[in-house]
Amino acid sequence: MPNSLPCPDKERKALTFKFLTPLLGAPAEAAIISRMTSRLDALKEHSLVVADTGDIDAVERWKPQDATTNPSLLLAAAEDPRFRPLVERAIAEAGGEVAAAMDALAVQFGAEILKHVPGRVSTEVDARLSFDTQGSSERARRLIGRYEKIGVERERVLVKLASTWEGIRAARMLEREGIHCNMTLLFSFAQAAACADAGVTLISPFVGRIYDWHKQQRKVEDIPIEEDPGVESVTRIYNYYKQHGYATQVMGASFRKIEQILALAGCDLLTIAPDLLEKLAAGRGEVPRRLSPEKAKASPTEKQRLDETSFRWMFNEDAMASDKLSEGIRRFDADARKLEKLVVSLAPAAPAVPQPG
Catalytic residues: 160
Q: What is the 3-state secondary structure (H, E, C) of 171-214?
A: HHHHHHCCCCEEEEEECCHHHHHHHHHHCCCEEEEEHHHHHHHH
The helix (H) or strand (E) run that includes residue 242 is: helix 229-243
Q: What does DSSP assign to residue 132?
A: -
How does 278-307 read in b/e, with b if 16+ C-beta sit within 10 Å? eebeebeeebeebbbeeebeeeeeeebebe
* Helices of type H across 9-52: 9-24, 26-36, 39-43
3-state DSSP assignment of residue 125: coil
Q: φ and ψ at 306, to 5 degrees?
A: -115, 125
Tell me which residue of 73, 190, 71 sits closest to 128, measured CA to CA. 71
Q: φ and ψ at 202, to 5 degrees?
A: -155, 145
3-state DSSP assignment of residue 53: coil
The helix (H) or strand (E) run that includes residue 147 is: helix 133-149
**In the chain, what is the straight-line distance between the N-terminal and C-terminal CA atoms, in Å?**
81
C-alpha distances in Å from residue 211, one per residue of 38, 206, 351: 26, 9, 41
How far apart CA 232 and CA 200 sit, in angstroms, is 22
DSSP string, 109-123: HHHHHHTS-SS-EEE
Angle between helices 98-114 and 133-149 (to 10 degrees): 60
Q: What is the 3-state secondary structure (H, E, C) of 258-322?
A: HHHHHCCCCCCEEEECHHHHHHHHHCECCCCCCCCHHHHCCCCCCCCCCCHHHHHHHHHCCHHHH
